[in-house]
Each structure stands twice: as structure tokens, then as C-alpha cells.
Chains A and B, each alone.
Chain A
Amino acid sequence: MSARPRPTSPHLSIYRFTITMTMSIVHRATGIALYCGTVLLVAWLAAAAWGGEPFAVVNAIYSSWFGLLVLFGYTWALFHHLLGGLRHFVWDFGYGFEPGQREGLAWANVIASVALTLIAWTLFVWVA
């Protein structure tokens, strides 16, 4: 038995962006960013396991302005992907598909991820 080749779908460039579509793309993008970002966590852990000197080097890089910028982005990506994952759980149980609900969930995802990032950095970095 054989089948015809599967049809290919047109890519991003031809669509009008909607919030749900954008959040789907951002979920994937933050997933890829976190994938790469694990290297940062592992470098920190490996340096800590290695000894005081490598650890001091990694710490110095991470606390430079560029390091902090990357970590800030990492925090946002983490929160966004986490909330996006929770949104998928809601969908898996069959809720949140109605018009209005899905847009609401998508907007809640962006707003909450930005808010949580700012709260986390305010509490733990800027104030502490």
C-alpha cells in the first residue's frame, strides 16, 4: 500500500498574526531558548563542582551586565514556557477552547510571564 506525499503547508510569512498563534510560536521559541540555556545552568554547576577558581570566573561572567541581561531573558523564557505548558494541560483536559477563552488564556500567558519575571527580579535581585 502506498500514499501520496503529504501536502506541505505555507509558512509564517503569509498569515495574519493572532495572539494564540503568536503564543504557540513563542512557546516553541522559549523552549528552544531554554534548551540552549541549560548549558548556562550546567556550566554553573560544573564550575561549582570543579573548584573555587572556575566558580569565581563563571560567577563574574553571570553577574556582568551582559550576564544579567541573559539571565533576565532566561527567567522570562522559563516563566513563559512554564505557563504555556500549564495552558496545554488545561487544553488536554478539554477546557479553554471556546472563542474568547483561548485568546484570554493566551493573553494571560504573556501578561503573567512578564509580571512573574518582574516580581521575581524585584524581590530577589533588585531589592534583596
Chain B
Amino acid sequence: MREPVVTREMIADPKTKYGDARASTRHFFLQRLSGASNILFTAFLIFIVVRLAGAGRADVVGLIGNPFVGIPFAILFAIVCFHMSIGMNEVIEDYVGEARSNRLAVSLNAFFALAVGVVGAVSILKIVFWG
């Protein structure tokens, strides 16, 4: 089956698989920026996991409950979720061509990244503020 002819309007519409030129540039740049922030996140993650491997809940609350650990960790984790949603959109762009399933996949991706980010960040902040 031949694909439909691509018009300028289709390319300009960010909802089509062809994407928006300016959005793509923005995504390219933000992916690098968030990637750089993720280096810091990884350092944090290793620090936290090493300190807490096999530890009980009291130790977890003791470490992540420290606002100087918990708050940056929550922010960095939110940026991770943003980074991964851009990355998954790129994968979807490559493999999910059909317009409807493309839109569905992009929406599911946004939902997943948002859900993971919110549950993660809220859990950390709960530990910081309420123990």
C-alpha cells in the first residue's frame, strides 16, 4: 500500500509522525541538556543505592528524608522522566508510522512518563516532609 502524499501542512502539524521542525530542534537540545543532568542523577542514585542496599525503612527515611538529598533527587528524577519521554517518542517516531497508533503511542508514553515521575517525586517528597 502506498503512503499518502506528504503535504507541507502535515509536516508542520506536530501531531503527525513527520513532526515539527522547531519542536525537533527543541527536543534535540533538551535531550542533551537533560542527559547532562542525568549524569548527576546517576551519581545520586549510586550514592543512595550503595548507602541503602538491603537497609530497613528507617535508614531509607534517614537518608532520603534529608532535604539536601531528597529534594535534589526528586528534581533530578523528574528530569529523568522528561528525558525518557523524549527518547521513547523518538523510538515511536521511527517504528509507529500509522497516524492513529502513533498518536496513541505518543499519548501512552506521555502518560507513563508523567505517572512514573509524579509517583516517584511525590514519594520522595513525602519521605522528606513527613518521614
Contacts of B116 in A (CB 8 A): 38-39, 42
Q: Are A49 and B46 in contact (CB under 8 A)?
A: no
For the residues of B in contact with A, the DSSP-based class is helix
Binds B, one of A3-11, A14-22, A94-102, A103-111: A3-11
B61 touches A6 (CB 8 A): no
What 1/0 mask marks residues of chain A from 28 to 62 whose CB sits below 8 Å from any chain B CB?
10011011001101100110110110011001000
Choose one: A2, A38, A48, A85; the contact of B7 (CB below 8 Å): A2
Q: In the complex, which of the residues A31, A42, A89 contacts B84, with contact meaning CB atoms closer than 8 Å?
A: A31
**Interface presence of A122 (CB below 8 A):** no
On chain B, the residues within 8 Å of A56 by CB distance are: 57
Q: Are B127 and A48 in contact (CB under 8 A)?
A: yes
Cβ B120 vs Cβ A38 within 8 A: yes
Interface hub of A28, A48, A59 (most chain B Cβ within 10 A) = A48
- Chain B residues contacting A45 (CB-CB under 8 Å) are 64, 119-120, 123-124, 127
- Given A5-B2, A42-B119, is A35 in contact with B46 using a C-beta cutoff of 8 Å? no
Question: Are B53 and A124 in touch, CB under 8 angstroms?
Answer: yes
The listed residue (A46, A85, A120, A124) touching B123 by CB distance below 8 A is A46
Looking at the assembled complex, report how far the CB atom of A41 sits from the nearest CB atom of chain B, in whole angstroms. 7
Flag whether B80 is at the interface (Cβ < 8 A).
yes
The 10 closest A-B pairs by CB, nearest first: A49-B123, A45-B123, A5-B3, A49-B126, A42-B120, A46-B123, A55-B57, A48-B60, A124-B50, A35-B84
Chain A contacts to B: CB under 8 angstroms? 1-6, 28, 31-32, 34-35, 38-39, 41-42, 45-46, 48-49, 51-52, 55-56, 59, 63, 78, 82, 85-86, 88-89, 92, 120, 124-125, 128
